[in-house]
Chains A and B, each alone.
Chain A
């Protein structure tokens, strides 16, 4: 197939080997992403162990509704981006574009909901670091919990923004017919990045909103 070989770099024996290498490279990158968030989870675990009751108390001051809605938003966006890749592989470009549109809308919705949540937190004096003036001002370790809350949500939010950028680019390329059933590897890798963003939130949800 001419269309398939045009994307083949000369140092690969075939398209299958190139796709496999691309996937392996992406998994390596996602592994480093897991470790990047991992150090925050490590710090969180250490201080949650030391200040278990303070963390539980601080967590109760977060509004679980925002976190729960955002979990539904992200898992649905993960589903829609998986469908976008599926439709691209089957040559259904319009459906793929629709699925990507849904994904991008949900990704933006996630950030908007997060914005409302943080505005709500700020009104209650929940700020990171020494700026915390909330109800648990005198509880040792509570402000520490909010440090992790803002750091982890912030880093995750940056990943959501990067994901929106990547998926917008992918949408443009799908719309211009660059991907087709014979070649859709970059779209697959972009979708994998988005799924990782989803996975990280899956862990942030119980760790931030459901501390017992």
Chain B
């Protein structure tokens, strides 16, 4: 199997991606900074995922490359998702007193 050299994308594509990144950064700054609600986190995180995907697909040329290269990075991110997901799930399902939250020492002094 020989990989055919992909056609080099036009500079216009890079310019459009950059403009989208600028707009998304501006949106993050305006929306999330002034909306300090629960939606703020998901908005900020979602926009960050969108921006990172744009950079990986077009600036890093994953869009033009074969499956295996996409797979390597996506698998790394999946394992990261499992790690973070399970760690947060652990914290969320603990017996409340087992979590050190404040200046309360649960250990009685003898």
Contacts and interface: CB of A to CB of B under 8 A. Distances in A.
Contact of A89 (B8, B17, B77, B79): B8
B37 interface: yes
B107 interface: no
B41 A212 contact: yes
A181 B59 CA distance: 18
B87 A45 contact: yes
Interface string A139-161: 01000000000000000000000
A202 B55 contact: yes
Interface in A185-212: 188, 191-192, 195-196, 198-199, 202-203, 205-207, 210-212
B5 interface: yes
Given A20-B3, A27-B72, A86-B8, A35 B55 contact: no
Interface in A170-192: 188, 191-192
B99 A50 contact: yes
Interface of A: 13-14, 16-17, 19-20, 23-24, 27-28, 30-32, 34-35, 38-39, 41-42, 45-46, 49-51, 56, 64, 68, 71-72, 75-76, 78-79, 82-83, 86, 89-90, 140, 188, 191-192, 195-196, 198-199, 202-203, 205-207, 210-212
Nearest to B15: A79
For the residues of A in contact with B, the DSSP-based class is helix
A199 B55 contact: yes
A140 B102 contact: yes
How many interface residues does chain B have, given as a range? Answer: 35 or more
Given A199-B56, A205-B28, A86 B72 contact: no
B2 A205 contact: no
Contacts of A13: 2
Given A19-B3, A82-B14, A206-B28, A212 B8 contact: no
